[in-house]
Structure 1
Amino acid sequence: MGSTDVNRRDLIKRAAAAGLVAAPAMGVLSACASGGGAGQEKVEKAEKTDRNPLGVNKSAPLEVVIFNGGYGEQYALDAEKVYERDYGRVKHSATQKIRTKMQPRMVKGNPPDVINNSGGENMDIASLIEDDQVADLGPLLDAPSLDDPTRKVRDTLMPGTIEKGRFGGEEMYQLNYSYTVYGTWYSKTALERLDVEYPKTWDEMLAVCAKAKKQGLAGWTYAGKYPYYLTFAMYPFIAKIGGREVIRAIDNLEPDAWRHESVKKAFEAYHELQAKGYVLKGTPGIDHIQSQTQWNKGRALFIPNGSWVENEAKETTPADFEMAVAPPTGLDSSDAMPFGTIWAEASEPFMVPAKARNVPGGMEFLRIMLGKESAQNFTRLVSALSCVKGATEGLELRPGLASAMKVLEEAGDNVVTPRIHDWYLQLHKERIGGAMAAMMAGDITPNEAVERCQRATDETREDDSIRKYKHT
C-alpha cells in the first residue's frame, strides 16, 4: 500500500479510511494493520498478439480466489484448465471468508490476481476503488472476444453489466459474472397441493398464508442471520408501490427517502406477516442455508432469494419440488408499476486487484470466463444465467432457471436495479438489514424501522470519509 517507510499507525489510518479494516460489527481484523511493505513485484508483460491480446506472460503463474458459495467452484476450476492450455499454471483456492482471507493481503500489497468478491463476507469494493486498490477492466472490455475476434468483449455482455461495474465514472472495476433474478421463490408443487395460485396482491398473499397456517405450514421464511436477503423482495416491492424513483432516491441517500409512503406501506405489509404468525418459527435465528432447507422440506411456502438458490439448495430439494420464482407480490391496484416488475442485474462480482502480480493474466482469465465454452459450462453446472449474451442457446434448463428466464422476459422494461448494496455495503447489510431484522422479529414497529433506515442513511450522507455516488 505504499513505500516501505509507512509506519504502522499511518497504515491503520489509511486502511480504515479505505474501509479495509472492518468496523466492529463487521469483525475487526487486526492482521490488516500489520505488514505495510511495498507490495509484490509485478511480472513482466509479454508482447500483445492476436492470440494474446492482453499481453499475458506465459511463464508467469496466476492466482485465483473463488467464493465457494451458491455457485461452488467447479465452473472456475474448469475455466482455469482453459487458461492453462495457453498460459502458466493456476494456483486456485476457494473460501466463504473472502473478507477475512483477502483484506490482510490487500492491505499488505500482495493480493491474488483474481478475486471472486462475493458472499456475506465480501469486501467493500467502493472503498477499495477509492484507495486505488482495483484495476480498471477497460483493457478487458476492449479486447477481442474469445469466440469472435471481430467483436470486443464489451459487445458480448448482457445489458447493464458494464454499468453495474462502474462506480461514479466511465471505468469498469468489477465484472459481475452471473445475471441474477431476485424475487419470491416457491415450489409449484406446494402451491398445487394447497390449491392456490401465486398471489399478485397483498390481500391475496395474506389469504394464501392464512390457508397455509391452517394446514400447519408457514407462509414465509428467510435468512434471519443475513436479513438483507429480505431486500431481494422488498426493494422491488417498494418500487412497485411508489415507482422506480423511490429506489433511486434511496440509492442517492436523499433526505426523507425512506419516509416515502411506499416504503411505509411495504414495511407495514411485511410486518403483518410476522404479526399474524405467518413466518416460520425460529426464522430470525437461522442462516440462508437453514432457511432454504426448511423451505425445501415444505415447512414454508415462500422465500426471498436470488437465482443462485437452485444450485445452492440442490442437495435438499425434492425431485418433485418444481422450484420457481415470481415477481414480488404487489400491494394493490394503486401500485405505480405492474406486477411483473422485478429486480434483476449482473451479479457475482469479480475483480483484478491493482497490486496483483499478474494483472494481464487476471484479465485474460476473465476473458476466458466470458467465452461461450465457460459461460455455457457455468449455466450447466450451477443453473444460473451468465452475463454473456445468448449463452443459454441450446441448453436444457432446470425448472428454477427456466422460471427465472420467463420472469425476466415478461418483465420487459420493468426491471429495477438498486445500487445501494454496491455503493454503501455496510449501510445496506448492517444498518438497513438490521432494521428490517428487528421489525420482522417483532422488536420494533414499521415506523421505527423506517426511522432507523433514514437515520442510518443521513449519517452515511453526512460522513465525509465515505465517497458518495448518484444516479445520473
Structure 2
Amino acid sequence: MGSTSAHNDTTGLGRRDLIKRSAALGLIAVPTMGFLSACATGGGGGDDKSSKPEGEKTAKNPLGVKNGAPMEAFIFKGGLGDQYAKDAEADYKATYGVDVKHTGTQAVGPKLTPRFAGGNPPDVIDNSGADHLDMNKLSSQKQLQDLGVLLDAASIDDPNKKVRDTIHPSTIEKGKHGDVFDVLYYAFTIYGTWYSQKLLDSKGWQYPKTLSEMVTLCGEIKKTGVAPWTYAGKYPYYVHFNLFAQIAKIGGMDGWIAIDNLEPNAWTKNDAVKEVLEHYEELAAKKYFLEGSQGLTHIQSQTAWNKGRAVFIPNGSWVENEAAPTTPKDFGMAVGALFDGTGDKLPHGTLRAEPSEPYIVSAKGKNPAGGMELLRIMLSKKHAQNFATKVKSLTCVMDATEGMQLSPGLASASKVFKEAGKNIISLQLQEWYPALTDEKLGGLTGQLLTGELKAADWIKKAQAEADKVAADSSITKFKRTV
C-alpha cells in the first residue's frame, strides 16, 4: 500500500474492508499480537456481565439499553467521513438521553490496541483503514460481541421484521467467524469498470460486453489521443478488483474458491486465469494504459480519469465520493459489470459486489447493548438513505434507496446490482491474505501492466507465492465452501 502518509493526506484509502493494507499493515501487526497476549491475561474484569448497564427490554428497546448509560463510538474517518455516524448518534441521544462519546480517526488500530489490552475498549468501532485491528484474532480472543442478538432484534422500521430480514444475506455470511456473527459490514460496495457516460455518449461508444470488444474499443479510443485505461500504479492491487472477479466469472466460483482456499495448482490449472491474464497482457502490449499510470496514487489516477485523460478505471463504488472534489458536474459517472470471455460459467451481467466497512461491538466494552443499538439505528431505512445521500454509497439494508433521487454513480451502481440479480461474485483472497494479494501479486500485476512480465510468468509466480502462504504455518488459514 505504500506509505501511510499518502492515504492520510487524501483520506482516501480505507473506508472499505478490502483496500486498506499491504505494507501499511505491518505497522499494526506486531502491536496487535502484543495486545492479544495482554488480552488473554489482562482486562478480564471487563467481561463481568453484572457490570453491564441493563435497561428494561421492551418492543421499542429490544436490546435492553439503559437510559443515560455512557456509550462510546470510534469511527474510521476516511473517504466516507464520519458525519453519517454522528447523525445516527444524534438519534441515539434523543432516545436514551446521553451524548455518545465520538472519535473520528484514521488510526483505529494504533489508538485502540492499548485500550483492548487494558480492558477498556470503546463500545462500537468502525474498524476500517490501513491501520485497522485484526478482527480474526479479536474474535478468537472473545473480544467481539456476538451480534446474533442484534440480528434477532426487531427492526426500527417494522417491529414485525427482524434485523436479519432487512439486510443482504451476504452481509451475515461475511460477518461470521466460524458460526458466530460478530462483524457487521455496514456498506455494500459495487466493483467494476468505471467511466463517464457523457464521454461515451459524445463519442458514440458503447460499453463493451466482452473482453474482445473491450480490446477493439480501446483501439478506437487510442486513435482519438485519449488513453483507454488508467489505474493506481502505486497500489496495483486496485486492478485486482476487476481481474480476480473476471477470473471467477469466466471460470466459475468453484475455480475461484480453490484459489481462495490456497489449493495446489489453483492458479495454473484454471483456464480462466490464462484467458484473463492474457487479456491484460494484450492491453499492456498495445499500450492501452495511460502513460505514467504506474507512478500514480489512487487519487492521482482518479483525477486523470476525471479530467478525461483516460476512459476507464477499475474501482469500487466509494470512488464517487472520493473523487468528488475533481469530478466535473456533468461527468455522468457510471459503472459496468464484468465482461464475457470464452465459455463463461457465469452469465452476462455478473457483478462483483460485497459487504464492506466492518463494524464491531466490544464484548468487554462498558455498554455493548448500546453499541448494538447504535447499529440497529444505522440499519433503519432513514439512516441507510442518509448514508446514500452523504457518501454516495449503498448500505447492507436491502431496497433502502428505492424511490430516492440518487447521484449518477450510485444510480448506476444500483442499476447494475439489480440487473445482476443472484449473479453476484464475492471474493475472500484479498481479505484473508492481504500480504499475498496486495504486495506479492500486486507487484506482479504492476510488472504485467508495464509489459515487463508476460501472463504465463505472472501465473507461475502467483502460484509459487500462494504455495508459500499455504505452507507457512504462522499464517492462519481459512476455508470457504460457497
SS at 2:86's partner residue?
A: helix
Q: What secondary structure, in the 3-state scheme, does the structure 1 residue paired with 2:267 have?
A: helix
d(CA) in 1 for partners of 2:144, 2:310 = 42
| Worse-superposed segment, 350-359 or 366-375 | 350-359
- Give the letter for the 1:136 counterpart: D
For residues 439 and 139 of structure 2, the distance between their equivalents in structure 1, rounded to whole angstroms, comes to: 21
Q: Secondary structure at the match of 2:27?
A: coil
Of the structure 1 ranges 172-181 and 273-282, higher mean CA displacement relative to structure 2 is found in 273-282
CA shift in 2, pair 1:421/1:124, >3 Å: farther
Indicate if the aligned counterparts of 1:182 and 1:233 stay in contact, CA closer than 8 A.
yes
| Partner secondary structure for residue 157 of structure 1 | coil
SS in 1 for 2:248: helix
Measured after TM superposition, the shift of residue 245 of structure 1 is 1.6
Are 2:148 and 1:149 aligned?
no
How far 1:269 sits from its partner (Å)?
Answer: 1.0
How does 1:389-428 map onto structure 2 within 5 Å?
389-428=398-437
1:47 matched residue in structure 2: 55
1:366 Cα shift?
A: 0.5
Distance verdict in 2 for CA 1:402–1:105, change over 3 Å: same
Tell me the equivalent position of 1:9.
none
Q: How is 1:216-255 mapped onto 2 (pairs within 5 angstroms)?
A: 216-255=225-264
Per the alignment, residue 15 of structure 2 pairs with none
How is 1:120-159 mapped onto 2 (pairs within 5 angstroms)? 120-159=130-169
Does the 8 Å CA contact 2:146/2:182 hold for their aligned counterparts?
yes
Question: What residue identity is the alignment partner of 1:133?
Answer: Q
The alpha-carbon deviation at position 112 of structure 1 amounts to 2.0
Find the counterpart in structure 2 of residue 77 from structure 1.
86
Q: Which moved more, 1:410-419 or 1:30-39?
A: 30-39
Q: Which residue of structure 2 aligns with residue 372 of structure 1? A: 381
Percent identical residues: 49
The AA in structure 2 aligned to 1:376 is Q
Cα deviation digits, residues 255-293 of structure 1 (max 9, x gap): 111111211221121122222211122222222222211
Instruction: Tell me whether 1:111 sits opposite 2:121 in the alignment.
Output: yes
- Structure 1 residue 110 displacement after superposition: 3.4
Q: Of the candidates 439, 447, 457, which is equivalent to residue 438 of structure 1?
A: 447
Q: Report the 3-state secondary structure (helix = DSSP H, G, I; strand = E; otherwise coil) of the residue aligned with 2:180.
A: coil
SS at match of 2:312: strand
Partner of 1:201: 210
Is 1:288 the counterpart of 2:298? The answer is yes
Partners of 2:297 and 2:366 lie apart in 1 by 36
For residue 107 of structure 1, report the CA deviation from its aligned partner: 4.2
In the TM superposition, residue 233 of structure 1 has moved relative to its aligned partner by: 0.9
Alignment CA distance shift 1:123-1:430 (3 Å): farther
Residue 24 to residue 232, structure 1, CA distance change in 2 (3 Å): closer
8 Å contact from structure 2 (residues 221, 228) kept in 1: yes
Q: Secondary structure in 2 aligned to 1:257?
A: coil
Partner SS, residue 461 of structure 2: helix
Distance 1:72 1:358 in 2: 24
**What residue is the counterpart of 1:17 in the other structure?**
none
* 1:11 matched residue in structure 2: none
Aligned partners of 2:461, 2:66: CA distance in 1, in Å?
A: 52
- Is contact 1:126–1:423 with CA below 8 Å preserved after alignment? no
| 1:375, distance to aligned residue in structure 2 (A) | 1.1
The AA in structure 2 aligned to 1:216 is: G
Q: Contact 1:44/1:57 (CA < 8 Å) preserved in 2?
A: no
Contact 2:55 2:67 survives alignment (8 Å):
no
| Displaced runs of 4 or more, over 6 A | 22-25
Which string of whole-angstrom CA distances, capped at 9 and with x for unpartnered residues, describes residues 116-173 of structure 1? 1223443332233233332221111111111222221111112322111113x22112
Query: Cα distance, 1:317 vs. partner?
Result: 1.0
Residue segments in structure 2 that go unaligned for 5+ positions in a row: 1-20
Which of 155, 169, 174 is matched with 1:164 structurally? 174
Say if 2:65 is the partner of 1:65.
Answer: no
1:349 corresponds in structure 2 to 358
**Cα deviation 1:299-341 (Å, max 9, x = unaligned):** 1111111112112211211111111110122334x33322311
Change (3 A) 1:107 1:443: farther
Using the alignment, how far apart are the partners of 1:313 and 1:128 within structure 2?
33
- Partner residue of 1:452? 461
Q: What is the aligned partner in structure 1 of residue 184 from structure 2?
A: 175
The alignment status of 1:323 with 2:333, answered yes or no, reads yes
Equivalents in 2 of 1:289, 1:263: separation in Å?
Answer: 29
The TM-score with structure 2 as length reference comes to 0.86
Q: Structure 1: which amino acid aligns with 2:204?
A: D
For normalisation by structure 1, the TM-score amounts to 0.88
Bigger drift between 321-330 and 347-356 goes to: 347-356
* Structure 1 unaligned residues grouped into runs of 5+: 1-21
Q: Are the structure 2 counterparts of residues 105 and 427 from structure 1 closer, same or farther at C-alpha, using a change threshold of 3 Å?
A: farther
Aligned equivalents of 2:284, 2:114: Cα separation in 1: 40
Structure 1 residues 99, 213: closer, same or farther in 2, change over 3 A? farther
Is the Cα contact below 8 Å between 2:22 and 2:434 reproduced in 1?
no
- 1:123, 1:445 → 2: CA distance? 36
Higher mean C-alpha deviation, range 246-255 or range 423-432:
423-432
Q: Within 2, Cα distance between the matches of 1:111 and 1:226?
A: 32
1:263 to 265, 268, 273: 273
- Alpha-carbon distance change, 123 to 453 in structure 1, aligned in 2, over 3 angstroms: farther
The aligned residue for residue 299 of structure 1 is 309
Greater CA deviation, 412-421 or 52-61? 52-61
1:255/1:350 CA distance change after superposition, 3 Å = same
User: Contact 1:380 / 1:395 at 8 angstroms: preserved in 2?
Assistant: no
The total of aligned residue pairs comes to 449
Q: Is the 8 A contact 2:22 2:438 kept in 1?
A: no
Q: Is the CA contact 1:194–1:212 (under 8 Å) kept in the aligned structure 2?
A: no
**1:104 Cα offset (Å):** 4.3
3-state SS of paired residue (1:258): coil
Q: Cα–Cα, structure 1 residues 201 and 69, in superposed 2: closer, same or farther, change >3 Å? A: same
d(CA) in 2 for partners of 1:443, 1:353 = 47
Q: Does the 8 A contact of 2:24 with 2:130 survive in 1?
A: no
Report Cα offsets for 1:43-73 as digits up to 9, x if no partner.
5221332133222233332222222223221
Look up the match of 1:5: none
Taking the TM superposition and a 5 Å limit, the aligned residue runs for 1:267-282 are 267-282=277-292
- Deviations along 1:177-225, one digit per CA (max 9) or x if unpaired, are 1122111110011222333111122222122222222222111112223
